[in-house]
Chains A and B, each alone.
Chain A
């Protein structure tokens, strides 16, 4: 171990739930997006599930709200080092959308795409079984545009660059296809507990 002369770090108590290399951002919710925040009217938002599915489907916000309400309450972890505890997102489980479209047995991966064109790749197994959501509320309020409003994907068990803001759709594939940051040197999967930050981790 290469200790740094004179560095003690801040006084700290062990924080259960904090993955390695992360710090608690407290009340802050930093915005990390490499693009201009798009102005998408809720009425114009759509979400499409296509690719290797029995029937491609598209929802608008009103249609999505007809699905059973579900939400995520828990922690989120950003690859840049901050974690945020006890966030509350409201929306719908991704399972509800996927079940409606019917993934084909050959589907193993998905590319999540934003209305801006931003993409992230995910194994289908990380998106099913109650582990991913499409959300439009934060703390009971409409999700702010800079945090991905009108609606974003939330996959809280992976680094947050996978939780595509301004989500437009999921394309199901039979192979893995790197998304925006993955083509820019980030890890293909991004598990915060294994510190899968950059390719090579």
Chain B
């Protein structure tokens, strides 16, 4: 068989090399991911004026890896159902509980119910965990970039790192409009650099995540380099991933979760 270029000589390129590979090391259990389970709300914790953490007992939860998400659905009396994706905020553990952190979206159908109606004892349905691509099992140095509620799956990674006493390098750059909107503010340690875009405490600069935040981390990467995880709105994901590429992070080692 011969290769035929239909228009110009330049068009004879063979199949391009893959720069974007499935991470082979993470298995998603299709049977578990396919099953809806009843979860019971056991606690609500205020994080910021706009975000709260919802603790759920899920007796049949098969466990998850930091970075994975689930699908959640609410059912109205007339049979109408609304389903949304939420990242797992808690580290994997054997407590029989998982935690989600929901931003209150103006007029939001599902987040609105959680923030105004939900109370302990309520039952909802979940399926998951889903998608192994964004997961971080804790085996490689991780550079985490998040904005707004995009910090949720990254916090699961930070908590996992702490709970297991991992020594593999981990750094978190987290962007929020101001200190009062910084989810998990009280939990961050030396691994985290907050970036404030509108208001900041005295002495802290105000401005977007910039090359100056990223460059030092990539100038001296850990052995084996970083695995980068970017999570947030699409606008943030585009901005942050471009900063990483410009600073020299290989594109095939950047994983992105966009909340839409």
Instruction: Assess the A31–B234 pair: CB atoms within 8 A.
Output: yes
Mark out the residues of chain B between 27 and 67 whose CB falls within 8 Å of any chain A CB in the assembled complex. Answer: 28-31, 33-35, 38
Query: For B234, what are the chain A residues with a Cβ–Cβ distance below 8 Å?
Result: 30-31, 146
Given A4-B123, A117-B16, CB of A9 within 8 Å of CB of B4: no
Given A5-B122, A7-B76, A50-B15, CB of A81 within 8 Å of CB of B6: no
Instruction: Assess the A201–B34 pair: CB atoms within 8 A.
Output: yes
Query: For A55, what are the chain B residues with a Cβ–Cβ distance below 8 Å?
Result: 1-2, 4
Query: For A66, what are the chain B residues with a Cβ–Cβ distance below 8 Å?
Result: 6-7
Instruction: Assess the A3–B130 pair: CB atoms within 8 A.
Output: no
Instruction: Assess the B75–A60 pair: CB atoms within 8 A.
Output: no
Query: For A199, what are the chain B residues with a Cβ–Cβ distance below 8 Å?
Result: 28, 30, 33-34
Contact mask for chain B residues 1-22; partner A; CB cutoff 8 A; 1 contact, 0 none = 1111111101111111111111
Given A34-B134, A146-B234, A184-B22, CB of A56 within 8 Å of CB of B75: no
Q: Which of A4, A33, A62, A119 has the most CB of B within 10 A?
A: A4
Instruction: Assess the B7–A60 pair: CB atoms within 8 A.
Output: yes
Instruction: Assess the B113–A6 pair: CB atoms within 8 A.
Output: yes
Say which residue of A6, A34, A168, A171 sits within 8 Å of B117 (CB atoms).
Answer: A6
Interface: A138 (CB within 8 A): no
Interface: A114 (CB within 8 A): yes
Interface: B79 (CB within 8 A): yes
Say which residue of A57, A117, A200 sits within 8 Å of B33 (CB atoms).
Answer: A200
Q: How far is the CB of B64 from chain A (nearest CB, A)?
A: 12
Interface: B212 (CB within 8 A): no
Instruction: Assess the A57–B6 pair: CB atoms within 8 A.
Output: yes
Q: Which of B83, B117, B132 has the most CB of A within 10 A?
A: B83
Mark out the residues of chain B between 86 and 134 whose CB falls within 8 Å of any chain A CB in the assembled complex. Answer: 107, 109, 113, 117, 122-125, 127, 130-134
Query: For A198, what are the chain B residues with a Cβ–Cβ distance below 8 Å?
Result: 30, 33-34, 127, 130
Closest chain A residue, CB of each to CB of B241: A36
Number of A residues near B (Cβ < 8 Å) is: 62
Instruction: Assess the B76–A59 pair: CB atoms within 8 A.
Output: no
Query: For A106, what are the chain B residues with a Cβ–Cβ distance below 8 Å?
Result: none
Say which residue of A4, A21, A58 sits within 8 Å of B13 (CB atoms).
Answer: A58
> CA separation between A151 and B51, bound complex, in Å?
39
Query: For A34, what are the chain B residues with a Cβ–Cβ distance below 8 Å?
Result: 133-134, 255-257
Given A30-B234, A55-B1, A117-B20, CB of A4 within 8 Å of CB of B113: yes
Query: For B33, what are the chain A residues with a Cβ–Cβ distance below 8 Å?
Result: 185, 198-200
Instruction: Assess the B1–A56 pair: CB atoms within 8 A.
Output: yes
> CA separation between A169 and B12, bound complex, in Å?
12
Interface: A8 (CB within 8 A): yes
Interface: B218 (CB within 8 A): no
Query: For A9, what are the chain B residues with a Cβ–Cβ distance below 8 Å?
Result: 74, 76, 80, 82, 109
Instruction: Assess the B251–A36 pair: CB atoms within 8 A.
Output: yes
Closest chain B residue, CB of each to CB of A180: B22
Contacts from A to B (Cβ < 8 Å): 1-10, 12, 21, 23, 28, 30-38, 46, 48, 50, 54-60, 62-64, 66, 80-82, 100, 113-119, 146, 168-169, 171, 180-181, 183-185, 197-201
Supply 27 A–B pairs (Cβ within 8 Å), ascending by A. A2-B75, A2-B125, A6-B117, A7-B117, A9-B80, A10-B109, A12-B80, A34-B134, A34-B257, A35-B251, A46-B11, A48-B15, A55-B2, A56-B1, A57-B3, A58-B6, A66-B6, A80-B85, A82-B260, A113-B16, A116-B18, A117-B17, A146-B234, A168-B16, A180-B133, A198-B30, A200-B35
